[in-house]
């Protein structure tokens, strides 16, 4: 009885030591180990053993994390104020750096993403923000990935979610788009008139080479006019016929 009473505290102490010494890490987790405050390596996944009170561990999740960047006020290069928010996908690739080099890597990445978003978008016009979103995503991703490399972070992707524009600017953009459509319509109409003028000039040059072709064209026009139900038909009078009649009249006139 005395032996059991003496062994019970020892067994309880060993059980507590064992419970504090054993850790089980999942496949996506890593343990950054510190011995007496000094970094001694990375362990996991699976079962790991540590010396209680001498060694400490920090769990690090290596799965891809999704970070929603809050809406940011951005002034574009053409002085248009917009609100932009984005989403970032990143993961820890070097667990010891994410613990030793930065206090809170998720918060640090979020703050860096906000400043980078304002900086990159502020260098572009509003039209570029709306039409070249993929290029802007790549630019932001490259900058973030380069700056977070020292923290052991890999930024996999950046997506701009929304670009909010105030109502007055929406009306301005609508008027600008309408003016652009009118400009294109006028340009197309002018190009059509220029092409028609060139074709008419080519036709006139061809007809000028053969005068009888002009007479055939004249007769063809009369046939088209005659086939229509018109109450009044005006026949064009060729200038060569008028010149011939004028010569006849002058010859028949008695000399003064």
Number of domains the chain is built from: 3
Closest listed residue to residue 95, CA positions, set 66, 58, 64: 58
Residues of the domain holding 207:
167-213
Q: What is the pTM of this model?
A: 0.63
Are residues 151 and 196 both part of a single domain? Answer: no
Q: What contacts 25, CB < 8 A, 6 or more positions away?
A: 31, 43, 44, 45, 46, 48, 59
**Element housing 31 (H / E):** strand 29-35
Phi-psi region of 22 (alpha: psi -120 to 50; beta: other; left: phi over 0): beta
Q: Are residues 26 and 51 in the same domain?
A: yes
- Rounded Cα–Cα distance for residues 87 and 66 (Å): 7
Residue 174, in any domain of the structure: yes
Residue 83's CATH number: 3.30.479.30
Which has the closest alpha carbon to 112: 77, 149, 80, 81? 149
Q: For 65-94, write each residue's pLDDT tens digit.
A: 999 998 888 888 888 888 999 999 999 999
Coil vs helix vs strand at 237: coil
pLDDT digits (tens, 9 = 90+) for 189-224: 888 888 888 877 777 777 667 666 666 666 666 666
pLDDT digits (tens, 9 = 90+) for 149-203: 999 999 999 999 888 887 766 666 667 777 777 888 888 888 888 888 887 777 7
The contacts of residue 100 (CB under 8 Å, 6+ apart) are 32, 39
Q: Does some domain include residue 197?
A: yes
């Amino acid at each position: 009885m005395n032996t059991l009473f003496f062994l019970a505290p020892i067994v309880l102490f060993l059980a507590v030591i064992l419970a504090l010494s054993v850790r089980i890490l999942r496949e996506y987790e890593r343990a950054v180990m510190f011995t007496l405050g000094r970094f001694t390596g990375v362990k996991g996944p699976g079962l790991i053993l540590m010396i209680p009170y001498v060694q400490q561990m920090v769990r690090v999740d290596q799965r891809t994390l999704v970070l929603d960047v809050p809406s940011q006020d951005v002034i574009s290069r053409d002085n248009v104020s917009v609100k932009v928010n984005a989403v970032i996908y990143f993961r820890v690739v070097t667990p010891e750096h994410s613990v030793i080099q930065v206090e809170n890597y998720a918060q640090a990445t979020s703050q860096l993403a906000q400043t980078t978003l304002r900086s990159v978008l502020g260098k572009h016009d509003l039209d570029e923000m709306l039409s070249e979103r993929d290029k802007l995503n790549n630019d932001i991703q490259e900058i973030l990935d380069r700056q977070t490399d020292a923290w052991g972070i890999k930024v996999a992707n950046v997506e701009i979610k929304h670009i909010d524009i105030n109502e007055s600017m929406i009306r301005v953009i609508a008027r600008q788009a309408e003016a652009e459509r009118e400009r294109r319509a006028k340009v197309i109409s002018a190009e059509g008139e220029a092409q028609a003028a060139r074709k008419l000039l080519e036709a006139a040059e061809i007809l000028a080479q053969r005068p009888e072709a002009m007479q055939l064209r004249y007769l063809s026009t009369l046939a088209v006019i005659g086939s229509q139900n018109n109450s009044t038909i005006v026949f064009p009078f060729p200038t060569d016929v008028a010149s011939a009649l004028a010569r006849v009249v002058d010859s028949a006139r008695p000399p003064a």
